[in-house]
Amino acid sequence: MLRQNDPREINPQGNGLLKGIAVDPVIFGFHENQLKVLIIEHTNTGLYALPGGYIQENEDVDEAAERILTMRTGLSDVYLEQFHIFGKYNRTDPEVVKKILIGQGFTPTDDHWSLKRFISVGYYALVDYTKTRLTTDLTTGSCDWYDFDAVPPLIFDHQLIIDKALTTLRHNLDQMLIGFNLLPPIFTMVELHTLYETVLGKKLLPPNFQRKMLSLGILERIEKKKTGKAHKSPYLYRFKPSE
């Protein structure tokens, strides 16, 4: 949403910004077998949303998503995937936008650019949330991780965006894990199995899971085993480098 320290955003015409389009990254947090989502609360409103933002005229859409993610989490070089465009005619509500702006101490004119129709470009990322340094600004009273079953009601269609992001992530998980770097460079099949169960939200039979993963051709087994009792030491694996 609007940042009063950015003259382009409070300008009535939004000079320097692309009008009618925003970026809404869904940032999933993963650590110690927990999956969470990053949610912000708009200042003085009690309204919750994804940590989105606007696109500058001189930047790519992907660059805008990366900038917003870095601003909120302190992380760079994070794998981001564009997954959907959200463009229903009535997906936003000018009265809600006004309430958010008033909460920041800024009252827009009725023809302010931010009150018009917006479409949103959805991205998802999956990060180790213990490595993040969450940041708030004038637009946000809070920026926190929430369990999936405890996400507060969100503005506009942001819950739909989260649901669509998670569905897309689950469908593409086999190939996406390499880019997310959520596991150490060398890991056991048990560690990989636990990660899958966490993201997919369901139990997977270990023998079937191992057969599937080995059949995908994305893993290579390391000759040495993990330190432990000789007859129980598990094999170590790593992802094959992308070609």
pLDDT in tens, 175-225: 888 878 888 889 999 999 999 999 999 999 999 999 999 999 999 999 776
Structure tokens at 181: 């770097």
pLDDT of residue 12: 67
Range of the domain at 163: 7-174
End-of-domain residue from the set 139, 174, 209: 174
End-of-domain residue from the set 140, 174, 208: 174
What is the four-CA torsion angle of 162, 167, 173, 178, rounded to 10 degrees?
-20
End-of-domain residue from the set 155, 174, 193: 174
Q: What is the pTM of this model?
A: 0.89
Residues of the chain where predicted confidence (pLDDT) is lower than 50: 4-5
Considering the domain architecture, whether residues 139 and 201 belong to the same structural domain is answered as: no
Q: Which residues have a Cβ under 8 Å from the Cβ of 122 and sit 6 or more positions away?
A: 24, 25, 26, 82, 83, 84, 85, 86, 161, 164, 165
Domain count, the chain: 2
